[in-house]
């Protein structure tokens, strides 16, 4: 774990004391958005658009994604919010992909509508970058010890003694009582490093989608392919996560993932007509 990259210590400026730090979670978020901007700006330039459009899209995705992910995180952990509202709201935790996807989509949609651009056309351009940003963001989760998985005895299991929350026997008993702790001793537990799993899978999906971006023949098809891959990835990973199960033994993220897969599959087999998909630019 490396929650703080650099600590500047106590600073006194005109009588005001500050203790600035470079947080690894925030730093990786910044890296995620800058990486997405690099690839988006490169592709948009080839399409004849200027850098301002890429900046506007990434900024809208960043604001919408962060707000959406945090809201979803707080809703999914409502019991902990009630117990410690300030700590939960202002903690470094909360990169919930599905909430971020919804919030980011709304933000980008607003930019496209404002500029009278084709939604499906630009969804295909952005689709690979959604996985890239997600994969890099998961590194931030690893560094702060957030969003880890169930306890495991596997040799690659990782312990997070200072995680958010710590991966201790007591924390699992308190916050995740539905997790079977049989065979585990009290103390700090090693858990599935699901952040690493998702980073590897996310980068693989990004590479696949990015290679296909110039062979799109039906507007929106790459975005709907992304929905299938992203939904499938998250559905599988949830079996290793500690999230609450709601229906048919599935978590909220898995239920939404099924919807993503269903939407993607439907529109791939029933493409949106070009006259519907496109609007005047």
The candidate with the shortest Cα–Cα distance to 91, out of 23, 191, 168, is 23
Sign of CA dihedral 65, 131, 145, 258: positive
> Residue 89: pLDDT above 50?
yes
Rounded Cα distance between 58 and 111, Å, is 10
Kindly report the backbone phi and psi dihedral angles of residue 190, in degrees, each rounded to the nearest multiple of 5, phi listed first.
-85, 140
What confidence tens digit (pLDDT) does each residue in 129-171 have?
999 999 998 999 999 998 899 999 999 999 999 998 899 999 9
pTM value > 0.75:
yes
Mean pLDDT confidence for 66-77? 78
- Taken in order 225, 35, 254, 71, the sign of the CA dihedral is negative
Cα-Cα-Cα-Cα torsion 159, 162, 167, 170, nearest 10 degrees, comes to: 140
> Mean pLDDT score of the chain, rounded to an integer?
88
pLDDT digits (tens, 9 = 90+) for 7-29: 888 888 877 887 888 888 889 98
- Residue 176, token pair as written in the block: 């995740």
pLDDT of residue 129: 94
> Model confidence over 248-258: pLDDT tens digits?
899 988 999 99
Neighbours of 27 (CB within 10 A): 16
Question: Which pLDDT score, from 0 to 100, does residue 95 have?
Answer: 56
Q: Per-residue confidence at 96, pLDDT binned at 50, 70, 90?
A: low
| pLDDT: which is higher, 105 or 69 | 105
If you average pLDDT over residues 177-189, what whole number do you get? 95
Consecutive H or E run containing 245: strand 245-247
pLDDT at 13: 81
């Amino acid at each position: 774990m490396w929650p703080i990259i650099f600590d500047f210590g106590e600073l006194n400026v005109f009588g005001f004391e500050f203790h600035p730090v470079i947080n690894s979670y925030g730093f990786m978020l910044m890296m995620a958005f800058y990486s997405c901007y690099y690839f988006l700006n490169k592709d948009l330039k080839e399409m004849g658009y200027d850098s301002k459009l890429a900046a506007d899209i990434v900024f809208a995705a960043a604001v919408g994604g962060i707000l959406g992910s945090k809201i979803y995180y707080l809703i999914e952990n409502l019991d902990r919010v009630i117990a410690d509202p300030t700590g939960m709201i202002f903690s470094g935790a909360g990169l919930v992909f599905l909430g971020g996807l919804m919030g980011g989509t709304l933000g980008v949609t607003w930019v496209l509508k404002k500029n009278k651009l084709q939604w499906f056309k630009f969804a295909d351009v952005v689709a690979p970058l959604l996985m890239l940003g997600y994969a890099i963001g998961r590194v931030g989760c690893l560094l702060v010890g957030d969003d880890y998985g169930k306890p495991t005895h596997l040799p690659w299991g990782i312990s997070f003694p200072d995680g958010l929350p710590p991966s201790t026997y007591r924390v699992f008993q308190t916050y995740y009582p539905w997790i079977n702790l049989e065979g585990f001793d009290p103390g700090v537990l090693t858990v599935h490093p699901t952040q690493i799993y998702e980073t590897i899978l996310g980068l693989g999906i990004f590479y696949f989608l990015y290679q296909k971006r110039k062979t799109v023949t039906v507007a929106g098809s790459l975005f709907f392919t992304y929905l299938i891959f992203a939904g499938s990835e998250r559905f599988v990973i949830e079996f290793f996560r500690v999230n609450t199960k709601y229906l048919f033994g599935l978590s909220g993220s898995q239920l939404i993932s099924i919807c993503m897969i269903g939407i993607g599959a439907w529109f791939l087999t029933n493409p949106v007509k070009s006259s519907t998909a496109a609007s005047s630019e």
